[in-house]
Amino acid sequence: MTEQSSNFLRTIIDNDLKAGLHTKIVTRFPPEPNGYLHIGHAKAICVNFGLAQEFQGETNLRFDDTNPEKEEQSYIDAIEEDIRWLGFTWQAPVKFTSDYFDQLHAWAVHLIEQGKAYVCDLNAEQLRSARGSLTEPGQDSPFRSRSVAENLELFAQMKDGAFDEGRCSLRAKIDMASPNLNMRDPIIYRIRKVEHHQTGNKWCIYPSYDFAHGQGDALEGVTHSLCSLEFEDHRPLYNWFLDQLPVPSRPRQVEFARLNLNYTITSKRKLKKLVDEQVVDGWDDPRMPTISGMRRRGVSPAAIRHFIDASGISRAVGTVVDLGMLEASIRDDLNDNAPRAMAVMNPLRVVLTNLPEGHQEILSMAAHPNKPELGERDVPLSRELWIDRDDFNLDSSLSRKKFKRLVPGDYVRLRGAYIIKAESFSQDADGQISEIQATVVADSVGNNIDGIKPRGVIQWVSAEHGLPATVRVYDRLFNHPTPDKGDNDFMSFINPDSLSILTDCIVEPSLKTAAPEASFQFEREGYFVVDRFDSTDDALVFNKTIGLRDVWQR
């Protein structure tokens, strides 16, 4: 978050500090370890960590591990890595809601002793039916009047594993007629006979998020519990628990609008379906809106942080940000920072007939046209080259305005090198162009030649020195702006052209030592990144991050 941006959260924190309510700001980021983080989580990370940094405070990373059936250590590891990669650090050590299970259990007993919680035998369907609606009050459970002693005994039996899952639950005793459905005797504890990734088999009852959330904040001294707007209706319950329990501090919950992007889904359940049904190649597939997927696609942390800041923080409900805005941040970042290189996606051989056999010369080209500090790269030129097949057209009558590349009998400049003229060409048995014979215009490297005006500039790679590469060309995963809105089946809007794999590409030899996750602008093609997992010195693999221009606008 930049110092120039302004939002209501910053104002709240600033006012609380000026009023002397706190001497240090403490925020928290509490992900559930049941999947990978996505672009929506990136906003929550930037908000919580960014504001704490700005006010010289700290942020806790606390895993909300109250649902062990869906949680895995691999998700915990991925979440920690994503946060570090985005450029943030948390107040050590990493925390877990399960760290507080003993205290939460003691506080549940406290509520029972105060007559504010009871064991309820209604099953899930009966609970839903008795809850009422927005226009009708709920109905008291027939077990609401159990004595304190009976509730203590039953809750102890729940803890000891005496009951099957679903047999009963512990509910807060609040108000079944409340206009806020969250206050209608919400569940505090459920029976879950599942081994926990942190506590093993110690527990067979687990607290609800609503019960654990505020108490975890209070135990950690969190001053500002910054949540997305869907938790606004939960705030009265958050505060109710704090009011009833002897908590050591009093956090304040404040809500802000979540990040909604068109052409994107951010439901972890739906993202998991894409993974499980192998629509994508894992959570870090470069088409996924996960942080790890964007990283593998070549998006930088700086681009994500800039986008989050530019999209703003508000309480406006239902605001949808155009995916093009994120793509523009990515493109601007890469344009400023990505070194240049040449790659040929669909190779066509060119023989420079007026150069001798074995000819080789080294041309020096800037790594970046606007960043001399990045230095230069050596690019070898030989008698035989590769150009892109799309850069040659048999129709020599095409005007220069319509086709600014190579045609028989005309000139084009090789990027950073000579002007060449296509003299003739060869075709295979199927009529496909197999080779172009061209001549070099002497002394034309870096020079204009009187009487010769090239049609345009094309990229090229030495046939002798070029490196084979696989290029994965990615596009948007969905071809509908709201793939999961309403009754839409998001799976029906998968873009069939979201991935194409080019296996015969040739790249310039300077890329042989490119490090994993290094990004480049391939001249006239777009921005590409060395795949962090699959690319090797002997088998280069590049992922397309984004094109040079926004083709979706058209």
Q: Which residues pair with 379 in a beta bridge?
A: 363
Angle at 240 between CA 237 and CA 246, to 5 degrees: 135
H-assigned helices in 175-234: 209-220
One of 32, 80, 81, 517 is an active-site residue; which one? 32
CA dist 363 and 418 (Å) reads 10
* Active-site residue, 258 included: yes
CA dist 365 and 372 (Å) reads 11
410: closest CA among 426, 393, 427? 393
Tokens encoding 383: 């008698």
Tokens encoding 295: 């990283």
CA dist 423 and 401 (Å) reads 21
One of 268, 305, 383, 421 is an active-site residue; which one? 268
* Active-site residue, 268 included: yes
For residue 51, what is the enclosing H or E element?
helix 39-54
CA dist 345 and 545 (Å) reads 15
Supply the DSSP symbol for 455. S
525: closest CA among 371, 397, 344? 344
One of 70, 250, 258, 415 is an active-site residue; which one? 258
Contact between 384 and 352 (Cβ < 8 Å): yes
CA dist 125 and 517 (Å) reads 50
H-assigned helices in 277-378: 291-297, 301-311, 323-337
Q: How far is CA 241 from CA 10, 105, 186, 223, 250, in A?
A: 26, 13, 11, 16, 11
Query: What are the backbone angles phi and psi of residue 111, rounded to the nearest 5°?
Result: -60, -40
Q: Is 73 helix (H, G, I), strand (E, B) or coil?
A: helix
Q: How far is CA 400 from CA 453, 454, 509, in A?
A: 11, 9, 31
Contact between 502 and 528 (Cβ < 8 Å): no
Tokens encoding 443: 């002394």
Name the residue with tokens 């290094």.
518
Contact between 63 and 96 (Cβ < 8 Å): yes
One-letter amino acid of 471: V
516: closest CA among 506, 528, 505, 527? 528
Residues acting as catalytic residues: 32, 258, 268
